Every structure is written in structure tokens, then in C-alpha cells.
Chain A
Amino acid sequence: KQEVTQIPAALSVPEGENLVLNCSFTDSAIYNLQWFRQDPGKGLTSLLLIQSSQREQTSGRLNASLDKSSGRSTLYIAASQPGDSATYLCAVRPRETSGSRLTFGEGTQLTVNP
């Protein structure tokens, strides 16, 4: 059974700092991995999608990497801003199930202090 773990559970940094969020998964048989952002009480906003054949994806100040063989992904945020404060979730789409089912980690709650 696929399990997804995110470390750390919470992170507080000063504005301007570069930071890395970690995600690990137990079964490398995945179609893709997706990073989401969630603001309090809101839905999920898709940030980046990495296909199983890819090593990384970039969007603006965000860069996500995927090492499928070791079951790890990282989300790098450059020059963090207070507006980046949110919970970041990673999710994998396992090959063991058909369809679009995602398995989520517990998330990392990020606070960027002005």
C-alpha cells in the first residue's frame, strides 16, 4: 500500500530565505507526483506536476524534483515571501489503482515571517 510522508510538518522562515520541502513515498510505481498549496479553509491549488519519466519541473520561484528510485521529491521555493505562507501537500498517483486516485501526504505548514 502506497504511503506518502512529508517532512517537516511545520516550518517557519524569515522572508527572503530559500527553502526545501520534502516528500517521500514507499512505492516507486507511480504515474506522477503533484505538489499542491492549500490556504486555510480553502481548496487545493496545483503548483507542479512531475511525470514519472521526468526529473524536475519549474514554475517561477518553484522547482520540484523527483527521484522515483529512492521514492523522494523535493519542492524548492526561492526567495520566500509572506504570501507563500500556506500548507504544501504532495500527492502521488499510484500505478496499482486505475483512474485518477491520489495518495496524499500530511502536508508541511509553511510560515514566512516579514
Chain B
Amino acid sequence: KAGVTQTPRYLIKTRGQQVTLSCSPISGHRSVSWYQQTPGQGLQFLFEYFSETQRNKGNFPGRFSGRQFSNSRSEMNVSTLELGDSALYLCASSTSPTGGTDTQYFGPGTRLTVL
């Protein structure tokens, strides 16, 4: 079974631009979560989508948004990029059954650099 894939793997943008990152979950997984990883803040939760609906949202400004499609693929968008948005963006997928018994599987990440 193919793992979680993320595209692109690397991105360089300038301040003020916007960017869209994509995540394809493991086949059969309906939950997709996004995390931002920086040296100073560690791994921080952005949001989670399940069956095309946002189920959880972290403490990030409205410039960060996402969506999920009917095939469970997810995209996240960051508008008006700031230098502090430079980070590794990771997505994770799971089957998300009730009771919280599932394992989270992570993709390789997208490295975003904002100049």
C-alpha cells in the first residue's frame, strides 16, 4: 500500500505570495491532519479534515486554510506569506475510527522557504 504523499517537496516563495500544498492519504484513510514544524515551536497542529469537513482547528491565523476532496486528498493554502511561515509542513492520515485507536501515518513533508 502506498504511503502518504505530499507535493511539492520543496517550495521557495517571497513574502506576500500565496501557496498551496497537497496531501494524498493512504488509500482508505478518511482523516487528514496538517502540522507545521519549526525549530522554535516544534510540531504544531494546524487542522484536521474528515469526510470533507474540518473537524479540528489549531491556533493559527485565518491566512491558513484547507480543504478536503471527496477522494480524501487534502490541500492547505497559506495566503500573504510571512517570513515566519518558513517551515516543514507535514500531513498525516488515519482511518479515524471511533475510540481513538488508530495509528497516524505521516508524509515526507513540504519544506516551505519564504524569502
By a beta-carbon cutoff of 8 Å, the part of chain A in contact with chain B is: 31-32, 34, 36, 41-46, 49, 51, 89, 91, 93, 95, 97-107
Contacts and interface: CB of A to CB of B under 8 A. Distances in A.
- A-B pairs with lowest CB-CB distance, top 6: A31-B100, A44-B106, A104-B43, A99-B55, A43-B108, A43-B106
15 contacts: A34-B103, A42-B108, A44-B90, A46-B105, A93-B100, A98-B56, A99-B55, A100-B33, A100-B56, A100-B94, A100-B96, A100-B100, A101-B58, A102-B33, A104-B35
B51 to A, nearest CB: 11
A100 B55 CA distance: 9
B60 to A, nearest CB: 13
Contacts, number: 73
Secondary structure dominating the interface of B = strand
Interface residues of B, number: 30
Interface of B: 4, 6, 31, 33, 35, 42-43, 45, 48, 50, 55-56, 58, 88, 90, 92, 94, 96, 99-109, 111
Contacts of A93: 100
A58 B88 CA distance: 30
